[in-house]
Structure 1
Amino acid sequence: MATAEDTQEVTREIFTNIFNNDFDGLQKIYAKNIDLSPDILDEHGMTPLQHASYKGNEQIVRWLLARGADVNSGKHKYQYSALHFGALSGNPRVCSLLLAAGAKSELANSVGRTASQMGAFVGNHNCVGVISNYVPVEEVSCFAVPESVHSDPVISVELVQPIHKFIMMTNIHPVKVALDIPPVFLVEDNPTKVYKVLHSLSEREIQKQLEANEVMAFKFHYLSCILIEIAKYYNEKQSDSKEFFIKKVLKSEKNYLEQFLKDCIRMFPYRDCTIFRQVKTIFQH
């Protein structure tokens, strides 16, 4: 029977292995102690997942999550979550893993800072971008389910993952967006279907009861504008509609980009939003 001293020694070994990024050593300890919880605590109330997140070790984070580690453990004495530590690590992939596992981005530490705010404070803007742009895949997959037995789903199941990846991009320069549009978005009636999803997601962000996310609402609208613009060239039988759009943007042909962006702003339906007034003001100067 394990003594208290034995348990303390095992605990120390676990956190030492995580500190040293020793994944093999960590696995061996858990293999020898099959009943050991993935949520054991150190003297500060930190779990192995929080330690691994702070180290930015994607492999260990993924493994601990698979073992059922509590992604929102709140026993740290300063109330830092695993996502707080992930944002501090500077590894955006770790932040993505935590968010996909259900990490709550709105949780604040003892000084009232969220994970995104802590990431920004230390200059890890790539992590901030991932957290700020994260959308649960369920918010897209619901469009692949018919609303009733007498209706068809808005999109096919095959479009769920490409759309989910598309809406979570953090670099939204029009050229980057164009390059990242999957070819499947442009075939048959898929442009219209994807547009409907983006429009619905934008509307959903505005109508959130607790706190509307105007920035995300405008982002979805903006992405839909680029998609439809490229789809228009595709329908006009351009040899490569994405390349055609990119060339027009880069060459600034007849102020093409400026006019496109102005039209995009003008078509945003939520005129009372702060984000609408801000972007409109920018293009008036």
Structure 2
Amino acid sequence: MSPVAITPSNGRANLMMASEDSSPGTPRPLTLTPSPPVSRSGSSFDLSLREDETELGLLLRTLDFAARKHTCQRRKDVDQTPYINHPIAVANFLASTGIQDVRVLQAAVLHDTVEDTHTTVEEIADAFGVDVARIVEECSDDQSLSGLERKAEQVRTAPYKSREAQQVKLADKLHNLESIRRSPPVGWGIRRIQAYFVWAKQVTDICGPSHPALAERLNALYETAYTRVNGVYFPCHPDACAPLTEAEKDRIDSRLRGLPAGEKVCPKPLFF
């Protein structure tokens, strides 16, 4: 199911990693229309609660749904962490920085299900309501596009996302960047790491006003994050990063020092 694609008036996104400009496409409307804004205390606030289900129960049901969808998936880091760790972390970033709207937390937990599993927007709408499905759809890339086109599309459409979708985007990028900083994906060199950070900052600079607390954490990351490739320390964002500090160097080295004797930094891939 394709997310919304809206072309801003200021033209093409200038991506460091793009080999050529991406031409603006015809805007594609969302398949689901969001409900009108409602107060959390209003009687019309519909969370698709089942009989006798609390908001906590609803959130746990959402986690269970996502865990089953991502069961056989792993992250690309050298630790090959279970994929479900990522959406849980995204929701935690939001909850720990003041987001209390359970619909946003649900969307954070589900934000990769349409894009990366055999899940439809309609399936999410049936299980958790139109508002949650709409946010998830906004956060889902159009898989008919190439990787570079999808990145350009994220920059191009970021200003037109709902506040809730922008908040999920911020938390999503923060966890991805923290993960890359700590343990770069297998096969990623410094140029690809830096290109990802440069692109991510373009997206998060646009979405930042939707949630200043996360925007502040992201800016701190861009200014401090280094990684180590083949024994050499590199700034993750070549333009925003300050000089390497001893504290940052120790953070990088601590992971290598913590490896058990004989364990390789890059284990063999796991297949399911």
Q: Same fold (TM over 0.5)?
A: no
User: Would you tell me which structure has more helix in proportion to its own residues?
Assistant: 1
**Which entry has the higher C-alpha Rg, 1 or 2?**
1
Q: Which one scores higher on RCO, CA 8 angstroms, separation ≥ 6?
A: 2
Q: TM-score, normalised by structure 2?
A: 0.30
